[in-house]
Amino acid sequence: MSSCDLLIVGAGLSGATMARLAAEDGLTITVIEKRDHIAGNVYDEIDELTGIRVSRYGAHLFHTNDEEVWRFVNRFGRWTHWAHKVLAESDGRLVPVPVNITTVNTLLNTTITDEQEMKEWLVTETTKHELPCNSEEVALNRVGPRLYSKLFKDYTIKQWAKAPSELEPSVLERIPVRANFDERYFSDRFQGLPTDGYTSIVRNMLDHPNITVKLSTPWDPLIQPYWHELIFTGPIDTYFSGLPPLEYRSIDFEWIRLANSGFYQPNSVVNYPSPETPYTRTVEYKHFLNQKSNWTIIAKERTTDTGEPYYPVPTRENREIYAKYREKAEKADGVHFVGRLASYKYFNMDQAIRNAMDYYATSLRSRIPTHT
């Protein structure tokens, strides 16, 4: 092989993980990134005016049960334990999500006190669609009509611009319901935030003599032949042409800085399920790791159709279109599609890393002659 074994398109978590693993195997890697910074959507930085660390593409909360992934990310910087919580505003009250006993007691004026009572309450409250065929039926099965209407229905419409009844069951299948008072958003074994930010973690992953990173360098098919293998982590429909584009949802961030201010809201993330509020949620970054500042900085997030691709839209149509891209991908030689955008699938951060690790071990490492 030439001195350039691998070309990786995209310097996000998936690209950086692949680059690091290959570099440690002795390969030489070039990473190109169309943005002017590394770390993809986990990019964070200290906001100049407020001194507060913010994530430019939305809050990222690391959580995993995967001990190997946890050990891997801990190689590249310190992590601080952080149990993420989300509140939702409904009927003028702020309640925990996922739904737990406090959510029910606050919104429905009950006095449920333990797991058994909550389970009994759920049995009477929820419906029993045996084989739910869309996300509305899934939600009614899980939380019943009242909480569905207060917390999920309109939020889902704002998030997806589609009614839950039009969305595949998978969208709301994952909403947890806690029959206890646990307010954590995630229940994974390992939860934390990188003490010095995600950008620093990714920078340390890419900090290896075998890795060259070129920023502000968009993908160009003309350069592909110069590398032995190509790893493409961008949207799969920007690599192949001749098929209908895939649908993505994006996020519009309205940044607000407040001077001489404590906190804007009592928690890092407040969801707004009500159709009257135009944004889906507000994120106040000062809460994360209890940052100190005389300012505070808030992002009001609206989900939109246009902009940077964030979320694949989970409808049957999109799944069918993606299957056609997948077919082309499997036929393409020397090019590998890895990561959230290339897989047209929502990955949590730990899933993105696990996926990249597995892909590297099973499909890539074997293709590259051993270096000595």
Which residues bind to its own copies, rule: CB under 8 A?
80-83, 92-94, 102, 105-106, 109, 111, 113, 180-184, 187-190, 258, 260-267, 287, 290, 296
Of 10 and 96, nearer to its own copies (C-beta) is 96
Torsion angles phi and psi, residue 367, rounded to 5: -80, -15
**Nearest partner of 32 among 221, 279, 284, judged by Cα:** 221
**Nearest partner of 17 among 336, 367, 346, judged by Cα:** 336
Closest contact distance (angstroms) between CB of 204 and its own copies is 20
**Nearest partner of 283 among 52, 72, 5, judged by Cα:** 52
Of 67 and 358, nearer to its own copies (C-beta) is 67
Other CB atoms within 10 A of residue 108 CB: 14
At which residue do the structure tokens 């950008």 appear? 199
Amino acid letter at 332?
A: A
Of 18 and 104, nearer to its own copies (C-beta) is 104
Are residues 369 and 231 in contact, defined by beta-carbon separation less than 8 angstroms?
Answer: no
Closest contact distance (angstroms) between CB of 126 and its own copies is 21
Closest contact distance (angstroms) between CB of 345 and its own copies is 27
Are residues 319 and 284 in contact, defined by beta-carbon separation less than 8 angstroms?
Answer: no
**Nearest partner of 118 among 128, 108, 132, 130, judged by Cα:** 108
Of 67 and 173, nearer to its own copies (C-beta) is 67
Of 115 and 173, nearer to its own copies (C-beta) is 115
Chain center to CA of 87: 18
Closest contact distance (angstroms) between CB of 207 and its own copies is 25
Closest contact distance (angstroms) between CB of 259 and its own copies is 9
Of 161 and 289, nearer to its own copies (C-beta) is 289
**Nearest partner of 195 among 342, 73, 295, judged by Cα:** 73
Report the greatest alpha carbon distance in the chain.
69
Closest contact distance (angstroms) between CB of 280 and its own copies is 19
